[in-house]
Structure 1
């Protein structure tokens, strides 16, 4: 998928509605399980944890209605089938963490992740709430703030983070992006270095093994393998920030 295929949903309030996942045939389920077991055998770091699948996105004028279902990570193996009754799209959050002198913090996924070597914004797949909970914008904002702490070591109050935009990219994956208050670049790198050292001390690997600051799509391309949405998000964010500070 090319970067140009990433779609932005602008100026719409996000409303999330839980629905049931489409049923799978016995053949599809068996194929999914087989492909998942093969993937785990080659990459033992994979785990079949709870996940959120986007079932449909409806543009209702000023509102974006996202229907989602509770699944597990193994459902992503369906994408490898030549034909399937439905292809599960993921819902994920990211944090646009600007630095004070301009640019955004991005990180490279370590070998302990499902996408090693890929550069992206701090963030992660959305998780379904407990049965009594609700998946809404506030829950996604809290999750984004948690990912920022876990991956970069920078703490941001969820109430200080604003919903910046929603994208749809590869496999129909939906990204919900939040804008955080600026921090000094040196501070972000210092916190991340401490995080990497702490993880190494307990025999683990940090989710991001390297940080960088990007200010343009060209900066993203120069890094190498990256998330499909990253060049366009960086370009748009940088342009908006330039207008705000002009």
Structure 2
């Protein structure tokens, strides 16, 4: 069972083959928590006006249902909720619920991107992806919705346009702070096409006066190359690359 007591532990892969998603009620904030959250959020927006308080999902918990099935409880909130992480006495904050995409090249390397200075994690190396958003109207949050969200994140961050149905559910990761990430694998593409798509996306964003979410990409084949990426890394990057490297070796 994966509980919030897992905060501060090492990130890991959960080896999940089936996923069940259940909406639950958000925790009630104390007046002190809400005041502190708003103060931290307002300070962050003043420092970076590109932040916006849009709708987002967070993870309220996850539990095993047999050896290879995971039930994830999720909550509707807004990005302001993440400011609670900076409130030392807060007990009501919940970690991220996100998708990430493994985008390989046709020679087996893996695309890793660096977050730009306009994001909440400037300079951090990670896979393309992002926090989940609530489904529209009465639409369910199911695996098909996660496929669509992952495809949208991939094109927004890298310019690579992949149909949701062409993404393969790959695994689930638990970050060190308890966040849950659903991982998808995209079809392999030639390096030249990946770089062409990324450069066209970045140029289009800058032409609109915006910084792209990823300001650089690299292609790696093993964890031995991770230390060469200067700057912070998402804590779940190393176990993902390690597993990807191992499965690639098994296929050769």
The reply on whether 1:112 has 2:121 as its aligned counterpart is no
- On the 8 A contact 2:113/2:214 being kept in 1, the answer is yes
SS at match of 2:112: strand
Residue in structure 2 matched with residue 135 of structure 1 by the alignment? 141
Q: Is the 8 A contact 1:109 1:118 kept in 2?
A: yes
Is 1:197 aligned to residue 203 of structure 2? Answer: yes
C-alpha separation between the residues in 2 aligned to 1:3 and 1:172? 8
Q: 2:29 and 2:167 mapped to 1: Cα distance?
A: 38
Question: What secondary structure is seen at the aligned counterpart in 2 of 1:172?
Answer: coil
Q: Residues of 2 paired with 1:94 and 1:216: CA distance? A: 18
Could you tell me which residue of structure 2 aligns to residue 29 of structure 1? 34
CA spacing shift, 1:188–1:84, aligned 2, 3 Å: same
**1:74 aligns to what SS in structure 2?**
helix
The equivalent position to 1:11 in structure 2, one of 8, 16, 20, is 16
SS at match of 1:71: strand
Q: Does 1:207 align with 2:213?
A: yes
Determine helix, strand or coil for the equivalent of 2:16.
Answer: coil
Residue of 236, 239, 246 corresponding to 1:229: 236
Pair 1:46 & 2:41 matched: no
Q: Which runs of 4+ in 1 moved over 4 A?
A: 1-4
- Pairwise CA distance, 1:32: 0.8
Q: Which residue, out of 60, 71, 78, partners 1:55?
A: 60
Q: Distance in 1 between matches of 2:200 and 2:193?
A: 11
- Kindly state the Cα deviation for residue 3 of structure 1 after the two structures are TM-superposed: 10
Q: Which segments of 5 or more consecutive residues in structure 1 lack a partner in the other structure? A: none
- The question of whether the paired residues in 2 share the 8 Å contact of 1:3 and 1:231 is answered with no
Change (3 A) 1:165 1:77: same
Match of 2:104 in 1: 98
5+ residue gaps in structure 2? 1-5
Under a length normalisation based on structure 1, what TM-score does the superposition of the two structures give? Answer: 0.95
Q: Distance in 1 between matches of 2:88 and 2:217?
A: 36
RMSD across aligned positions (CA): 1.8
How many residues align? The count is 245
Q: CA deviation at 1:196?
A: 1.3
> TM-score by structure 2 length?
0.92
What is the aligned counterpart of 1:156 among 150, 156, 162? 162
- CA change 1:92–1:77 in 2 (3 A) is same
